[in-house]
Amino acid sequence: MDNSQNFIPLCTMENKKSDTICIFGTGDFGRSLGCKLLQCGHSVIYGSRNPQSSSLTPKGAEVFSHSEAAQRASIIILAIHRENYDFLKQYTEVLNGKVLVDVSNNLKINQYPESNAEYLARMVPEAKVVKAFNTISAWALQSGALDASRQVFVCGDEIYAKQSVMDIVRTLGLTPLDQGTLLASNEVENYPLQLFPMWRIPIFICSGFTILIFLYCVLTEVLYPCVTLKEDASYLIAISIPNRVFPIVSLILLALVYLPGIIAAVLQLYRGTKYSRFPDWLDKWMLCRKQLGLVALAYAFLHAIYTLVMPIRYYVRWWSNNYIITQIKTNNTYEFLNHYAWLSDSYVALGILGFFFYVLLGITSLPSVSNAVNWREFRFVQSKLGYLTLVLCTAHTLVYGGDRFIYGTYYKWYLPPAFVVALIIPCIVLSLKLIIIVPCLDKRITKIRQGWERNSKS
């Protein structure tokens, strides 16, 4: 049966606003959306199980039975839970050719084998099902607090139906994002249920390293002196230990941003082709590199701030006063060591430059900035400047370590393992990168990446 005559695409704003929009369900979402539609100049009617007793519906909207309401409109928004869709079976006739907007969400990701919108399309095959509005909450529609969620994902198989819904979305001051056909509805329905999916692995890795290194520092710098020397060094927990943890974790995370790219290059070199899938773990790792880098930047920021407050710390002031008083008492002047001045200035300079490029990397990863550069420029900044940052930060840590070990007046036995932990991954990444950029390997990898080389291993 051809029902295309039943549905007339809405082309102009004038048509759009005069066309009646029907909402099935007078619950929270139905009422909020209806209210917003009325405010924006649309004519709204409701379809309800109990048209007489629906007293909470917004002023200016009439409430009818489902079949009567459906007859009066060409667009019907279903503000009803999927579990209650069964009643629609009795109205398939009147719903033929109408645009049915599915706004439903589920309680769990992939709760049903097929998406709610596909389920609806199967139940009312002659209707034009469009998925929309599920990412906007009733509360946000009511209170106008739409700052965080102005985007409305829209998908559907019928292009005109989808276009009409997108036009309505625009008249509400929201931004429609075309997600394609109903095949995308599963993803659209899962979207509001996700909790920072791309951030999970970075936060997990970062928390793991933070806890381990923090515990190591507390054990060696607080508990060990407490047990062996009966010394209370617990004040170190507030600033000294975090300021050891943040740079170490930051450097490790920055190296972990570049490690998957190197593993991928080694794999491609080994396989001799790019036409072969990476293992799943590598894919996931590659996808969360930006988030890893941003967490690393946050830790670098903390390290910078913690370092800046050093001079106003009681412990540091006491230590430096004591140092001067000791010289006076012993009538002794410690000589100025030129190489020591060089060493300490070098690690500070390397740290400042490393931090500067770190921030630059963070800024260029912002969508508004990355949109302003082309792909090659973006790759240049993220890759070349990224490696430069890694080199500077690794050098900063190495020189700082050298400063402590060679000339430091307070060399401690527990520092070398901490430096090894901080430097091992960055050093692996940098050495592998040095090997990969050897001209013959670099040429080969360029060939592979441009698809000129395929071999039997693919």
Contact positions toward Fe ion, by CB under 5 A?
A: 247, 351
Which of Fe ion, ligand NDP, none does residue 291 bind (CB under 5 to 8 Å by kind)?
A: none
Q: Return all residues near 272 (Cβ < 8 A) that are at least 6 apart.
A: 448, 453, 454, 455, 457, 458
Binding segment for ligand NDP among 131-139, 202-210, 385-393, 404-412 (CB under 6 A)? Answer: 131-139
- The residue from 61, 76, 98, 134 that contacts ligand NDP (CB under 6 A) is 134
Q: Output the smallest distance, CB 150 to Fe ion, in A.
A: 41
3-state helix, strand, coil in the chain (%, to 5): 65, 10, 30
Does residue 137 belong to the site contacting ligand NDP (CB under 6 A)?
yes
Binding partner of residue 137 among ligand NDP, Fe ion, none, CB cut-off 5 to 8 Å per kind: ligand NDP
C-alpha distances in angstroms, 107 versus 112, 193, 364? 10, 8, 37
Give me the helix-helix angle, 280-287 and 289-308, nearest 10°: 50
The correct pick among 10, 21, 23, 29 for binding ligand NDP (CB under 6 A) is 29
Nearer to Fe ion, 244 or 274 (CB): 244
In whole angstroms, how close is the CB of 373 to ligand NDP at the nearest point?
36
143 vs 455, beta carbon nearer ligand NDP: 143
How far apart are the C-alpha atoms of 260 and 266, rounded to whole Å? Answer: 10
Minimal distance, residue 351 CB to Fe ion, in Å: 5
Query: DSSP 3-state assignment of 123?
Result: helix
> Which of 49, 284 has the CB closer to ligand NDP?
49
| Residue closer to ligand NDP, measured from CB, 85 or 355 | 85
Among 19, 28, 62, 68, the residue binding ligand NDP under the rule CB under 6 A is 28
| Element housing 425 (H / E) | helix 415-436
**Minimum distance between the CB of residue 293 and Fe ion, rounded to whole angstroms?**
18
Please report, as residue ranges, which positions from 47 to 86 form the binding site for ligand NDP (by CB under 6 A): 48-50, 54, 79-81, 84
Q: Which of 22, 26, 118, 418 binds ligand NDP (CB under 6 A)?
A: 26
Residue 50 or 456: which CB sits closer to ligand NDP? Answer: 50
CB 38 within 8 A of CB 61: yes
Of 128, 185, 111, 125, the residue nearest 153 (C-alpha): 185
- Beta carbons of 272 and 457 less than 8 angstroms apart: yes
Count the Cβ atoms, other than its own, within 10 Å of residue 278.
17
Give the nearer residue to Fe ion in terms of CB position, either 156 or 351: 351
CB of 346 to ligand NDP, least distance (A): 57
Q: Calculate the alpha carbon distances from 366 to 94, 245, 254, 290, 359 in Å.
A: 49, 26, 17, 10, 11
- Which lies closer to ligand NDP via its Cβ, residue 184 or residue 206? 184
Choice from 87, 334, 356, 407 touching ligand NDP (CB under 6 A): 87
**What does 87 interact with, of ligand NDP, Fe ion, none (CB < 5 to 8 A by kind)?**
ligand NDP
Give the gyration radius of the chain's Cα atoms: 31
Q: How near is the Cβ of 180 to ligand NDP at its closest, in Å? A: 20
Residue 49 interacts, among Fe ion, ligand NDP, none and using kind-specific CB cut-offs from 5 to 8 Å, with: ligand NDP
- Quote the least distance from Cβ 422 to Fe ion, whole Å: 10
**Interface with ligand NDP by CB under 6 A: which range of 97-105, 217-225, 247-255, 391-399?**
97-105
* Residue in this structure with the two tokens 């790759």, named with its chain if needed: 379
Cβ neighbours of residue 115 closer than 8 Å, sequence gap 6 or more: 131, 182, 185, 186, 188, 189
Q: Which of 74, 104, 186, 273 binds ligand NDP (CB under 6 A)?
A: 104
Contact between 185 and ligand NDP by CB under 6 A: the answer reads no
Q: Which is nearer to ligand NDP, 60 or 208 (CB)?
A: 60
**Partner touching 247 among ligand NDP, Fe ion, none, CB below 5 to 8 Å by kind:** Fe ion
Asked whether the beta carbons of 70 and 126 are under 8 A apart, the reply is no
CB 44 within 8 A of CB 25: no
Residue 332, SS3 per DSSP: coil
Count Cβ neighbours within 10 Å for each residue of 412-446 and write b for 16 or more, e otherwise: eeebeebbebbbebbeebbebbeebeeeeeeebbe
Residue nearest to ligand NDP (CB): 27
Token pair in block for residue 161: 């139906």
Residue 25 contacts which entry, Fe ion, ligand NDP, none (Cβ below 5-8 A, type-dependent)? ligand NDP
Residues making contact with ligand NDP (CB under 6 A): 25-30, 48-50, 54, 79-81, 84, 87, 103-105, 134, 137-138
